[in-house]
Amino acid sequence: MFVMGIDPGLSRCGYGVVVRAPGCGRSGMRAVAAGVLTTPSTDPLPDRLAAVAEAIDGLLHEFSPAVVVVERVLFQTNARTAMAVGQASGLALAAAARQGATVVQYSPNEVKLAVTGDGRADKRAVQTMVTRLLGLADVPKPPDAADALALACCHLGRSRLLERVPT
């Protein structure tokens, strides 16, 4: 199962694609791709939104994930940042729905808890655990890419748990 995590942002939008398959190490997960989409802060807002939307559409077309996980925007101290993150989040949610992928959202604390066992873990702890879970040689950089991989790992871990729970 291919899962794409998206850490939304207008200046930096992280993405990470993870597959769960036999033979992928102890966790059963392997990173397929990770990176960051960027837009210049000097460009007009509509152009930046169009660039992010086009890039997300391209990633969805390239990887055809079954599930797209987008970080839920809960709180930002800066209203301007919150708006930009919310706009990028909306683009990702709409693009994934258009592509026919299952769309899931998790809060930052849910991701931290699933990946590290501590809902208040810092970025370094998340990066370290993502590196271990995916058997990577180096910590994924920049942090937005690591966060996107963490989103995908969170979903794969939760879905594996839910498969084992009798209904």
We report the CATH number of the domain holding residue 133 as 3.30.420.10
CA 73 vs. chain centroid, Å, equals 12
The model's pTM: 0.93
- Residues known to be catalytic: 7, 71, 144
pLDDT digits (tens, 9 = 90+) for 130-158: 999 999 999 999 999 999 999 999 999 98
Please state, in angstroms and rounded to a whole number, the distance separating the CA atoms of residues 150 and 144: 10
Low-confidence ranges of the chain (pLDDT < 50): none
Angle at 112 between CA 70 and CA 93, to 5 degrees: 5
> Bridge partners of 68?
4, 103
pLDDT of residue 30: 95
Its domain, for residue 7, covers 2-164
Structural domains in the chain (count): 1
